[in-house]
Amino acid sequence: MGALGQAKLVAFLGTRDRARAKAFFAGTLGLPLVHEDNFAMVFDAGGTALRVTPVRELTPQPFTVVGWRVDDVPAAVQALSDAGVEFARFDGLVQDGLGIWSPGGDVKVAWFKDPDGNLLSISNG
């Protein structure tokens, strides 16, 4: 096993608006804020540290940068929608009324953006 095989992963996101990001990740998504200092806010994302760091400039990428695996994608989409999250739709993907796409089998994926435009996802696979 390599040097990082047993190490815990830390995820990073940038934000241009610290207060708005804090309200979104803690309030809307319900992630516990475990640490905050001048450099970052650290949220507990199911045992993974999510460091949201203020940056001067940010160009959101057109691909998913952080995702969560959930047991029930439709229920999670509904709960997040009820909290005000808007789910993304993409040309060329057949998505259901909730915005969920299935690439085949029982796999389901839905995407949404944080206040800075970072593309996030929930899936069951």
**What DSSP character marks residue 64?**
-
Q: Check: pTM over 0.85? Answer yes or no.
A: yes
pLDDT digit string, tens, across residues 60-108: 999 999 999 999 999 999 999 999 999 999 999 999 999 999 999 999 9
Backbone angles phi, psi at 76, to 5 degrees: -65, -40
- CATH number of the structural domain 10-123: 3.10.180.10
Q: 118 and 67 in contact (C-beta within 8 Å)?
A: no
Give domain limits for the chain: 10-123
pLDDT attached to residue 125 = 82
pLDDT digit string, tens, across residues 12-67: 999 999 999 999 999 999 999 999 999 999 999 999 999 999 999 999 999 999 99
Percentages helix, strand, coil for the chain, rounded to the nearest 5?
15, 35, 50
